[in-house]
A and B are shown apart, each in its own frame.
Chain A
């Protein structure tokens, strides 16, 4: 039993659902007449409601960021390394809110939900989401929970982009913005990888142009392939070398051997792909990668991130990882440089880590120290 035996775990958590009946106008011009958000909370909201921390998830994340859903649960939430008693986002001190974003496939309204207009699943007709739509819906959730101002909004990768968007859209509702392994916008290379992932899904015959639910099919091969491509970009060359090298899982490279050799890295990627394809919705994956592609913090500010950040009033902590090539330290330094030029409060740490982009999920000692130190500052001002 994991949940109760670990002192640093938030233990067993129960997802909750918030229902919103007021229409939500979306960036794409359409609106959701009503929607639901599934979320979890950890820790206790204090009397003056000043200790709330919003955790924004990345591409394939969900509301289950910490703790366990049952005593038999084998794996904790996706950011359990950073959320819990004595951890950087210390639940003894903070009230943590983690939700599944709109368009997700883990309980919040998304492509698998029923479209009230048709009585059928939305499928490919679910409206496109932008980061600002998520931020708007998260603000509704804050209203629902009685939180006027977040002590901090925190996120890694696409989550960091939501945190930055928060600082511009609701400057009066966020005191600290923690941006980990993120970027002001995607590079052409980032866009290219996302396109390969989407094409993998689109080319699966079971995808049926996005209407696979009506055919009782799931494009698992396409989804698995998409995840495999994505996964390569989350790891560093060094991390893969250390973890797998050229180790063989089966077969042989000896001369005269006629069987196919299979490298460890092949089976690892296939395992990751098949695990993912059983738990994730293909339309959601397409929606999430598009939201990532479309994110461009400064687009509405004449493409000037300095002008954009002048709308923010919170303090920023930016963290990057040395071997992250998806959103490299150079991308984070662009964020920092813009914040300095905009005369905003900012701290920046570049963590040496072999793990690539995935490092933001892992208990790397210096990362945990820096993150904890900044959260102490957040705690003092909350």
Chain B
């Protein structure tokens, strides 16, 4: 499964990558971008199966990236998991309205990450089966 990890802090990208590998995802298939703009360019150029993104980033924020993904016919079905320090109600609602698939507040545990990922894949499988 090809995953794009988007965060302006290199530490956080490495931590998310580390956790994803621990959960059994293939390390070479995980790629990184340091803001929304770079992520969008990569997503348009190559097929990815999932995006894990931060909210607060320079140039293009995570919510703008999410909106851009949902607005792009080729990308709109892509699962997006938001991993962010933003924990105020309005922002979580904004992410939900923009069509986020999961929302994790930092700092988080590997168990939380696994739960959210499992839920995303369960929902995708269910919607795939009913379609």
A and B are partners in one complex rather than unrelated chains: no
Interface residues of B (CB under 8 A from A): none
